[in-house]
Amino acid sequence: MRPKQHYIFLLLLPFLLLSLWGCAATDSTSNLYPARTASATAAETDEDAPDTASEFPADEATVPEPELTAAEEIKELETLGSWEAGKPYTIEEEVSYDYPVTMNRQVEFYLDFFQNKYRDIFTRWLERSTRYLPMIKEELREAGLPEDLAYLPMIESGYSLTAFSTAKAVGPWQFMTPTAKDYSLEINSYVDERRDPEKSTKAAVAYLSDLYDMFGDWHLTVAAYNAGCGKISRGLKAYNKDDFWELAREEYLNGETKRYVPKLIAAIIIAKNPEKYGFTGINYQPPLAYETIEVPAWTSLRAVEVACNADLEELRNLNRSLPQLVTPPDQENYPLKVPVGKKELVAKNLPRVKETVTTDFKTHVVGEKETLTKICKLYDVNKTTLLKTNNLRKSSLSPGMRLRIPYQVSEYILTDKDIPAQARGNIDNRMVQHKVQPGETLSLIAKRYNVSIDLIVSWNKLSDIHHINVGQQLAIYDTDAKGAATVVTASRPETATTTAAKKEATKSAKAPSQPTFYKVQDGDTLWKIARRFDLDPGQLKQWNKLRSNVILPGTLLKVADPDTIGPLSMRDGKKSAL
């Protein structure tokens, strides 16, 4: 048997050596700055970051306009014949360039393309450009880079903050996840700084600066921004070239990268002198302007909309880095952007904004061969919730059966201390569906809704209290319908009774594992709560960072030393999953 094993090894040896040679031949720089073309999609997987447009459930994600006609452009460029070197461009007296502007058949193609077939879209790009150009040019100027690079986001995304390409590049500068993280852009379920125009611009300027240090040529730098520096480096070495136009003649670069440089040059030429090319009467947008105010974790843009009577779309445009339309839960003070003149209103009214969460129902008629599992997936509802809602004991369904499908409705209202909270509805309207978010545990969810872990387990028939999945739907029922005063600990709620018992509860909460909070009830005042727990009202205000004596029913208040129980942002006792 030994000789056979020896021969098999000899037969396999060439293939093993070939695979090892292929690994060794890989350019190590390609992993540092990946390509951003569609072919790079497989290399861009990131478990923590959104990777499809469906991962932006509240805010929108749009296909970049420059991507819509990519195939058509590449096909038409191929009909022009071989690529030719760029010739010096005769500069008009009234216009100057600091990016190397050259002219050839490919640049002329895009000058014609923008003026005719793409005219309406290019007009929109011009209109948007002035919102961001002053900021981008300032960043480029401070870094010592050509200010004409400010038109790069024009051919990347059309200056769209919501752009999400098929290659999973995001934002105005179309950053892929690895490169974005290399340049300190935060990306998670609640924040995507690739969509922040200022932070993404700083990252892009740093990236372009590094690429220029590597290639020493702006045409090659821009090509590398699109294809990745590893791709360009390998091509220059393989074909013994040092010029973009010469490399473009070879059968090496894909069509998307080849078109990238002449497209940028044509965009710069027209954008800096639009009237010459027939673009008149442009409705330019005003430069980006806003005020910043720090708000607590979990602050919804819809709550801010109510607080300052602003347009939600304007708030979204100023805070596109918040795809869930809510500030991140792990950041106690988040710098939110608000329209100019609205900062004081937000500071004054946001503590008075109350979220009301109810559950409404729609009807679904069971079709032929439809199962409960299929219907639950269709409406993103778990089986236990659907069975309970329809008083069903088993999962079997009959065609024609009418099912009530619950869905959550949130509304924000501006309250006054003299206005009582809205009366609660019936038991159905006190059910809330909570969608599990990254980093959440049953303990955190139980505290948020002022219920015990045991109840959540019972309501949802969970088999493992230590394991819940991101995206899982949990049914939460309001168990405090009578308005009883309740002290909530880390383990389970307890009813507050005598003053001595309350003092004892506060003492026991000194242990780090047993933090103690109080859920504000209808008719409560800060003075009443302080007296109930033998505290000073000033202590309560300090521990809970209250700006006034106004408190709202449902709010969780710290009633123990904050050094013991840790920070807790002021927010509603019932927070919906956005």
Q: Judge if 321 and 382 occupy the same domain.
A: no
- Give the pLDDT score at 29: 35
- Give the pLDDT score at 359: 77
Bigger pLDDT: 315 vs 556: 315
- Give the pLDDT score at 134: 98
Look at residue 16 and tell me if it is in a domain.
no
- β 486-489/473-477 pair status: unpaired
Report the pLDDT averaged over residues 164-191: 95
Look at residue 404 and tell me if it is in a domain.
yes
Q: Is the pLDDT of residue 52 over 60?
A: no
| pLDDT bucket at 218, cuts 50 / 70 / 90 | very high
Angle at CA of residue 275, ends 271 and 278, nearest 5°: 100
Q: Judge if 224 and 243 occupy the same domain.
A: yes
How far, in Å, CA of 502 to CA of 481, rounded? 22
- Give the pLDDT score at 106: 95
Domain containing residue 368: 354-565
Look at residue 471 and tell me if it is in a domain.
yes
Which of these three, 277, 306, 341, is where a domain ends? 277
Most confident of 16-25, 149-158, 432-441: 149-158
Cα Rg of the chain, angstroms = 30
Q: Judge if 44 and 75 occupy the same domain.
A: yes
How far, in Å, CA of 23 to CA of 36, rounded? 22
Return mean pLDDT, the chain.
78
Q: Is the pLDDT of residue 251 over 60?
A: yes
Report the pLDDT averaged over residues 183-201: 96
Q: Judge if 387 and 447 occupy the same domain.
A: yes
Report the pLDDT averaged over residues 78-99: 82
Q: Judge if 361 and 345 occupy the same domain.
A: no
Look at residue 8 and tell me if it is in a domain.
no
Residue 190 is encoded by which pair of tokens?
Answer: 């609640």
- β 402-414/102-103 pair status: unpaired
- Give the pLDDT score at 136: 98
Q: Is the pLDDT of residue 569 over 50?
A: no
Domain count, the chain: 3
> What are 371-423's pLDDT values in tens digits?
999 999 998 888 888 998 899 988 889 999 999 998 877 788 888 752 333 33
Q: Is 156 exposed, middle or buried (0-12, 13-18, 19+ CB in 10 A)?
A: buried
Q: Is the pLDDT of residue 253 over 50?
A: yes
Q: Judge if 300 and 343 occupy the same domain.
A: yes
Q: Is the pLDDT of residue 572 over 70?
A: no
> What are 319-329's pLDDT values in tens digits?
999 999 999 98
CB 145 within 8 A of CB 212: yes
Most confident of 83-97, 100-114, 509-523: 100-114
Bigger pLDDT: 297 vs 321: 321
User: How many helices, marked H, and strands, marked E, lie in the chain?
Assistant: 24, 12
Which residue blocks in 240-382 are alpha helix, DSSP H? 244-249, 255-271, 301-308, 312-318, 343-349, 372-379
Active site residue 411: no
Q: Judge if 375 and 341 occupy the same domain.
A: no
Neighbours of 462 (CB within 10 A): 17
Q: Judge if 340 and 372 occupy the same domain.
A: no
CB 168 within 8 A of CB 145: no
- Give the pLDDT score at 516: 67
Look at residue 575 and tell me if it is in a domain.
no
Look at residue 231 and tell me if it is in a domain.
yes
Q: Judge if 330 and 398 occupy the same domain.
A: no
Q: Which residues sit opposite 48 in a β-bridge? A: none
Look at residue 13 and tell me if it is in a domain.
no
| pLDDT bucket at 550, cuts 50 / 70 / 90 | low
- Which run of H or of E encompasses 335? strand 333-338
Q: Judge if 175 and 194 occupy the same domain.
A: yes
Report the pLDDT averaged over residues 20-46: 38
Which of these three, 225, 253, 277, is where a domain ends? 277
Q: Judge if 337 and 389 occupy the same domain.
A: no
Look at residue 365 and tell me if it is in a domain.
yes
> What are 92-133's pLDDT values in tens digits?
667 899 999 999 999 999 999 999 999 999 999 999 999 999
**Given the residues 156, 256, 355, 440, the one annotated as active site:** 156
Which of these three, 336, 353, 370, is where a domain ends? 353
Report the pLDDT averaged over residues 519-539: 73
| Helical packing angle, 105-115 and 119-143, nearest 10° | 120
> What are 450-489's pLDDT values in tens digits?
777 767 876 787 877 778 888 888 888 765 433 322 222 2
DSSP 38: G
CATH of the domain at 196: 1.10.530.10
Which residue blocks in 144-228 are alpha helix, DSSP H? 152-157, 177-182, 197-215, 218-227
Q: Is the pLDDT of residue 568 over 60?
A: no
Q: Judge if 298 and 149 occupy the same domain.
A: no
Report the pLDDT averaged over residues 550-567: 62
